[in-house]
A = this chain, B = another copy of it.
């Protein structure tokens, strides 16, 4: 079978979970301690003259129950990727469901990567909190449906992506999500930024009552003994109709990754200040420490502790011991 590659990743851990504001601890076997589990199909075809056709059909799943998607209602079978496109010297154009502009700058610029369970930055940016904290900082999901993505060719270590998500609302072509990001890697240096203006939810592009404009920057430097990460972002939410301010989140994160033995020691911290136009302002900070040991290139085992605190609530800890396997 030369036209399609079957692949994916299973990541499951045993541990305990308790976020700040939750009344009690739960013993769990959960999916996605380090990376959200996924499976799927990908392929590319050489069309000649440097042109390629490419497709990806990949879906998230829960490695603890076998459930399709990321555990919330409405996630689709191919929730991670469902797109087809053309790539060449001009860059790449993709049609369908794919990454949102916030994804790569977030997961490539913190030591815990795309851990929705334990990365302080990802937990603040993309998952809801407890104790009245409400939704995560970034609106409009980490993947967008009904999208056109244009990716530039790599120019001296720099790549940029332009994202446009159709609202598909009859008679109102102005409702959509737009965003751009940039990624720069050169030797030990990494730099990133993204901007999005988002008003739709996924995968069904329901129109939200709030519209979010977000600007984020991040950087990393590899000192060899340790790699350092830092990010900063501001998310401004306003009423979609009147543009009246609803809230503003300011989120920064710092992290370290140090190669020790056949693995990496990981340390990260995220801090969000939430200013509400109506109601009291609030704060949240979360830090995690872990060790990720590689049994092979494809398989690693890890242990992580995360401590989460929402202002006015106790600091609570979560713990995971897991295995991650790529296929």
Identify the stretch in A80-88, A99-107, A120-128, A181-189 within 8 Å (CB) of chain B at 4 or more residues.
A80-88
Known: A78-B66, A203-B66. A298 touches B45 (CB 8 A): yes
B55 touches A327 (CB 8 A): yes
Cβ of A166 < 8 Å from any Cβ of B? yes
Residues in B neighbouring A246, C-beta threshold 8 A = none
Residues in B neighbouring A11, C-beta threshold 8 A = 84
B29 touches A296 (CB 8 A): no
Cβ of A171 < 8 Å from any Cβ of B? yes
Residues in B neighbouring A47, C-beta threshold 8 A = 295-296, 299
A53 touches B145 (CB 8 A): no
Cβ of A3 < 8 Å from any Cβ of B? yes
Known: A1-B6, A47-B296, A147-B29. A24 touches B66 (CB 8 A): no
Q: List 29 A-B contacts (CB under 8 A).
A: A1-B1, A1-B5, A3-B298, A3-B326, A8-B41, A10-B57, A10-B82, A12-B83, A14-B148, A26-B173, A27-B176, A28-B146, A29-B147, A29-B168, A31-B96, A48-B296, A53-B295, A59-B66, A63-B83, A63-B84, A63-B95, A64-B96, A65-B203, A66-B80, A66-B82, A67-B203, A68-B76, A68-B78, A85-B323
Chain A: residues with CB nearer than 8 A to chain B?
Answer: 1, 3-8, 10-14, 18, 22-31, 39, 41, 43, 45, 47-48, 51, 53, 55, 57, 59, 61-68, 76-86, 95-97, 145-148, 166-173, 176, 202-204, 295-296, 298-299, 322-327
